Amino acid sequence: MTKAPFVLIVEDDQWLAEQLARTLMGAGIRSELATHALGAIDMIDANPPDAIVLDVLLAGPNAFTLLHELQSHADLASIPVILCTNSADQLAGEDIAAYGVRQVLDKATMVPDDLVVAIKKALL
């Protein structure tokens, strides 16, 4: 029996984080929540996820702090990252490609299933 994939959701809006987790759970994907980048780093250290869903503008250090941290550790650099943000139109593809970002989801236009599709695609 294959183990359910495990995703870390880094999102400082508690209700949106719950909503994302609910969507993933409906697709059989386990998840945990981190509300800020520093907490996420601790959680990744303790239990590396199969993928990360990451908001960009967080309270305190933003997503790029976490992305830099991931890239500085060989064992974490390959974890696929899905950015889920209200600022998708402000992110240049070439700027984020180097950070292991597989896909950018725009919170304002995505539908819940887009997240599941993005995670499954990243884990292929």
The arrangement of strands across the sheet holding 81-85 comes to 30-34, 6-10, 51-54, 81-85, 101-106
**What x/- string results for residues 84 through 113 when contact with another protein is judged by CB under 8 A?**
--xx-------------------xx-xxx-
42 part of the interface to another protein, by CB under 8 A = no
* Close Cβ partners of 50 (under 8 Å, ≥ 6 residues apart): 5, 6, 7, 79, 80, 123
Check: CB of residue 87 under 8 Å from CB of residue 58: no
In this complex, which beta carbon is closest to another protein, that of residue 19 or of residue 48? 19
65 part of the interface to another protein, by CB under 8 A = no
Q: Which SS3 state, helix, strand or coil, does residue 45 take?
A: helix
Q: Applying CB under 8 A, which of residues 24, 29, 54, 58 lies at the interface with another protein?
A: 58
Q: Which residues in this chain contact another protein in the complex, by CB under 8 A?
A: 12-16, 19, 22-23, 26, 35-36, 38, 57-60, 62, 86-87, 107-108, 110-112
